[in-house]
Structure 1
């Protein structure tokens, strides 16, 4: 039996974002690794992890389902963003340990692979001019085989102009994007929950519809499910959301309301692989594919690869290429896919702990936009 002995955290960065890296070690020396989603305040994560570790120290590290349920039940009230991010980090590290203990890739512990490789799209997160975009996509296609990309729908300041102009500008822009690229390539648009009125989300979808986007992501906030039902009913393009939802219950509410064509849970947000798998099964029962939210580093990507390999209703994975010194062999796209590593146990990647010896921390915070009248807006 491998019992949980200790948990260590390392303050690092992935690109311009802070990231807490987690290592759990068992009493027989097996190490499991994960990374934490940076909700902020990120420096609050380490003490939360220390608190949770004291509750599970000495437990059998291979009882991933038991420990996940125990940590969820250890809180009097449902854990919020920071609590679930910490639980996810523990859960994901324990799955790495389970795979290494068995000498198998994690996806084999989930029932084996249902696909040979995992398709990815490149998260570009901006709306560059057509020529600049064409240069970017051509480089990504040539180097890694990408044929799918995600862009911002905003070509100008959203809160400073009449929305009809924003929508018209987007429609013209997407038309230019289509003309400049092969017709089989796919483009999604992430609205970052910046809109507030459902009718604006419908208008944005109408602007995109003639050129058939892969999906429109998170146009409005997640709280009011009837609004999502209305948007999906009126929208002529696939509607995707889920990065701001935390639990199986929230996803069940969204799915029951028929509020999304594609769900996008984040494996580092919802409580880890254990809860992520439950969400996928709920979505499958509603005929809804899963396209995980993953603007993360190599450890989160590795966890998503194993999830995607074993889940029948997986669609496509978000991928953000950000090299780091502490991961020697990250999953990297080949022909627009991440290849499985059947000969490597656990997550299938190696962490260079010597590169984690000194903090590589960067402060980052979201900037709340201001409208012309001085009021604030969603970002």
Structure 2
């Protein structure tokens, strides 16, 4: 037995440190009976919470913007003064969460899986998964605070002490400007994994680069609409197989130049993926994948919508460029399982703001590992979802890297109170404080509230359940 450890397994150095913090003199500590020594050593443990007696008493929302996206922050309160925080995924509707309030009031928040099974029927793909996911995240935050442990510990412990981050940067019409921005603002800052957004929108001004784009342009215009358009019937709202847009050799040459210049600028040691290529079908995705094979991309993301699983399998089998999708899928059984079982992609890419939350994201990662697939994590929301993702990543063995979307956004960083470290040479340290492991800066939340939004105002209109929820007879 080590000289530094007594027969009860208490490390003497830690005990002496705790005793000194507790104010008892060292001499008195060493002369006291063992029971008194133990009492002194644990005197700083939070005893205000009785987890078995916890009840959810309220759910409130503070909706913010500018980080860069609009994000509803969820706060779940309890009868013991402990609150947990989650968020509806970036750009989602706060009502996705608020409608769940009547289903969870009075329940013990520490029964996370039980509550998840009650509310999961109200989640769906994309932002519609944001309510269930945000509530689930807040429950884990609450549970960790109640028991005085970080969330990763509740998931079975951690595989890593730090989580690798990947980042993209603002694009440019000039490949050299794009690459220079990436190097100066990402590589030179210490990021070790990168993603670039290159899409057919970059080809719109090149005559002969694309086929069939004018059909999708507004009347009287020859410009390709944005793939982010939210107007029904516009190009951005037409699913990939149905636009019938094609890329010519001239267009492929132009897109290749972006990747070639980027590789010449940042080198080959750093994994580099591409995203937001545009809305086109399988054959065009395969053409582009083949053209970019010499640049050893880490992945091509969301070439077609995730739901076209057989199309994904065709793309994946047709190229040595790795494929990845999943940021909009709700639940393991909602699409990830089939993607993994069919080996339709090389890696999965969940966003816990849509998956159903922290534990469901770990389930997805664990199942992918059984199928021989690694897991990246997407995230573009607030620090709440970011650190929730950090805990899921720490607890999942086949994890590769987590997206940090707000690298240069000062408003995003302002939401983090205290000295919590977000970035350290390409990684984020896994927090060791209880719950999600960081504190929200409430003054920053107030400053970022959207026009007309309240600061965690009461929501009594959501207290009463309005429907019969059972899905079977």
- TM-score calculated relative to the size of structure 1: 0.87
Give the alignment of 1:284-363 within 5 angstroms.
284-320=369-405, 321=407, 322-324=409-411, 325-329=414-418, 331-342=421-432, 344-357=433-446, 360-361=449-450
CA distance in 2, matches of 1:171, 1:80: 32
**Partner secondary structure for residue 99 of structure 2:** helix
What corresponds to 1:129 in structure 2?
175
What corresponds to 1:227 in structure 2?
311
Aligned with 2:78 (options 26, 36, 45): 26
What corresponds to 1:4 in structure 2?
56
Q: 1:112 to 1:62 in 2, by over 3 A?
A: same
Select the structure with the greater relative contact order (CA < 8 A; seq sep ≥ 6). Answer: 1
Q: 1:362 to 1:253 in 2, by over 3 A?
A: farther
- Greater shift, 134-143 or 204-213, is seen at 134-143
Q: 1:201 to 1:82 in 2, by over 3 A?
A: closer
Shift of 1:362: 7.3
Whether contact under 8 Å (2:422, 2:428) holds in the other structure is yes
- Say whether residues 1:211 and 2:295 are aligned partners: yes
Q: 1:220 to 1:125 in 2, by over 3 A?
A: farther
Larger Rg, first or second structure (1 or 2) = 2
What corresponds to 2:258 in structure 1?
173
Shift of 1:174: 1.3
Q: 1:182 to 1:358 in 2, by over 3 A?
A: closer
What corresponds to 1:274 in structure 2?
359
What corresponds to 1:89 in structure 2?
134
Unaligned runs of 5+ in 2: 1-52, 205-209, 214-223, 225-244, 453-473
Shift of 1:309: 0.6
CA distance in 1, matches of 2:262, 2:187: 15
Whether contact under 8 Å (2:275, 2:302) holds in the other structure is yes
What corresponds to 1:243 in structure 2?
327
**Partner secondary structure for residue 300 of structure 1:** helix
**Partner secondary structure for residue 209 of structure 1:** helix
Whether contact under 8 Å (1:17, 1:362) holds in the other structure is no
Question: RMSD value over aligned CA atoms?
Answer: 2.2
What corresponds to 2:270 in structure 1?
185
What corresponds to 2:457 in structure 1?
none
CA distance in 1, matches of 2:198, 2:186: 20
**Partner secondary structure for residue 10 of structure 1:** strand
CA distance in 2, matches of 1:331, 1:200: 42
CA distance in 2, matches of 1:134, 1:337: 22
What corresponds to 1:35 in structure 2?
87
**Partner secondary structure for residue 166 of structure 2:** strand
**Partner secondary structure for residue 417 of structure 2:** coil
CA distance in 2, matches of 1:133, 1:313: 30
CA distance in 2, matches of 1:17, 1:139: 21
Aligned with 1:140 (options 155, 180, 186): 186
CA distance in 2, matches of 1:362, 1:162: 42
Aligned with 2:203 (options 156, 177, 197): 156
Q: How many residues align?
A: 353
Q: 1:302 to 1:14 in 2, by over 3 A?
A: farther
- TM-score calculated relative to the size of structure 2: 0.70
CA distance in 1, matches of 2:265, 2:442: 44
CA distance in 2, matches of 1:217, 1:6: 39
